[in-house]
Amino acid sequence: MTGRTHYKLGIMYYIIFSILPLMSAVPLLQGNSRITLASVGAAALGALIVDSDTERSLISRVNPVAYGTNKVVSTVEMLFNRILKLVIGTVAGYLILSNLSRITEIFGSGDKTYYIAYFIAFTCIFAGVTSERFIQRLPVISILYNVCSSAIGVLSSVVKSFLVFICYIAAAAGIVIYNVRHGNQVVPYIIAVIILGTVLLPHRTFLHSIEGFILYSVIAKYIFGMIHFPQLADAFIIGYFSHVYLADILTNNGVPVSVLPTVLKKAGVHDRLARFSVYRAINKILSTKLSFSVMSTGTSSGNIFERIYCSILFILAAILILNKYNLLNFSLV
């Protein structure tokens, strides 16, 4: 599902869960259930932060670390593409003009040959100094430009990932070092683990697992409790839960039961433990993907499902709000 769908679902599920009487029995949600603009924002943040392990997500595009890094690299990539376009166009034009004698030997020395040669040469030079779209319409030259431009794009993507990786690793190391020197509390270590898990593990593994949900819930309770706004932690947790277990679980990709099998494989421990039958049985359970597979992300049918899903929840949330303020004449209990 898209980031826009996730934050809408997070907000609406927060409103619904805050109003429904049965949710007050959930031990995790013991904060103030009063709906505020801040709590709505916390729910949206919780719903979006689950996808912070991929640069294509909405949260990554507004993340100052990822956004700043990507913006700089994208600017450099654009500059290289412009230089590439200029070089290919001007060099192609120069080669034609500097080899007019050979061209006339092959195609004849008439005025028509000269006119055509000069026209092609200046067209190439013009393409080099104008828009990218123009040079991509020229035969032969467009092939060379597209190949080189694609190579620059691949290199740019690698550089972006590497720089973001370095920034996250440095942030985690900084938190650990500071925590060791000042207080040595548990929660900063959990934050460092989340940062490392986000940058080291693939998308839809750590942050979409029960471990990611629990660790983020602990951090949310700690941070929002520290600033005396426990209801914001509740909103954040509901938003996070809605993303993983009320949205992505409905897709064909599903969500993992646990990230532990992925961690063990990354650490090279899986093959050593695989000879034990107990480990294989546990690993099989933990490797299971939870999926009801009612939609496929990125397809037209999936987009329609997302709209219907959001619409149903919006109607339900609106009914609950109207009923809460006694604008509807029916009881929820």
Task: Judge if 145 and 249 occupy the same domain.
Answer: no
For residue 40 the two structure tokens come to: 């709505």
61 versus 168: the higher-pLDDT residue is 168
Given a contact cutoff of 8 angstroms between Cβ atoms, the answer to whether 261 and 283 are in contact is yes
In a domain, 129, yes or no: yes
Given a contact cutoff of 8 angstroms between Cβ atoms, the answer to whether 73 and 156 are in contact is yes
pLDDT at residue 201 above 60? yes
CA distance 206 to 262: 8
Euclidean distance between the first and the last CA atom of the chain, given in angstroms as a whole number: 33
In a domain, 303, yes or no: yes
Outline where the chain has alpha helix (H): 3-19, 37-49, 58-62, 64-98, 100-107, 111-129, 132-135, 141-181, 186-200, 210-226, 230-245, 260-266, 270-273, 277-286, 300-324
Task: Judge if 318 and 198 occupy the same domain.
Answer: yes
Query: Whose structure tokens read 């207080």?
Result: 183
Residue ranges making up the domain that contains 297? 3-71+162-324
pLDDT of 10 reads: 94
List Cα–Cα distances, 182 to 130, 168, 179, 236, in angstroms.
57, 21, 5, 28
pLDDT band (50, 70, 90) for residue 80: very high
pLDDT of 22 reads: 63
Mean of pLDDT values over 181-207: 87
290 versus 296: the higher-pLDDT residue is 290
pLDDT of 133 reads: 82
In a domain, 304, yes or no: yes
In a domain, 79, yes or no: yes
CA distance 138 to 51: 40
Would the CA dihedral through 323, 327, 328, 333 be positive or negative? positive
Count how many domains the chain has.
Answer: 2
pLDDT of 217 reads: 92
CA distance 301 to 305: 6
Task: Judge if 176 and 284 occupy the same domain.
Answer: yes
Task: Judge if 127 and 190 occupy the same domain.
Answer: no
Q: Is 161 exposed, middle or buried (0-12, 13-18, 19+ CB in 10 A)?
A: middle
pLDDT of 117 reads: 86
pLDDT of 97 reads: 87
Task: Judge if 238 and 314 occupy the same domain.
Answer: yes
Query: Whose structure tokens read 């995790």?
Result: 28
Which residue, among 53, 45, 37, 4, has the nearest Cα to 237 in the 3D structure? 45
pLDDT at residue 333 above 60? no
In a domain, 329, yes or no: no
pLDDT band (50, 70, 90) for residue 142: confident
For residue 244 the two structure tokens come to: 């993983």
For residue 120 the two structure tokens come to: 């092609």
Return mean pLDDT, the chain: 86
In a domain, 333, yes or no: no
pLDDT of 29 reads: 57
- The lowest-confidence range among 62-71, 98-107, 146-155 is 62-71
- Report the predicted TM-score, pTM, of the whole model to 2 decimal places: 0.78
Share of residues in the chain with pLDDT > 90 (%): 36
Residue at which a domain ends, from 105, 129, 150: 150
Task: Judge if 83 and 63 occupy the same domain.
Answer: no
In a domain, 156, yes or no: no
Task: Judge if 21 and 97 occupy the same domain.
Answer: no
CA distance 132 to 210: 47
Residue 274: CB atoms within 10 A of its CB come to 12
In a domain, 330, yes or no: no
- Residues 122-133 have pLDDT tens digits of 888 888 888 788
pLDDT at residue 28 above 70? no
For residue 287 the two structure tokens come to: 């490797």
pLDDT at residue 328 above 70? no
Task: Judge if 185 and 274 occupy the same domain.
Answer: yes
290: helix, strand or coil: strand
pLDDT at residue 24 above 60? no
Task: Judge if 20 and 139 occupy the same domain.
Answer: no
List Cα–Cα distances, 34 to 24, 126, 131, 300, in angstroms.
12, 64, 54, 37
CA distance 302 to 315: 20
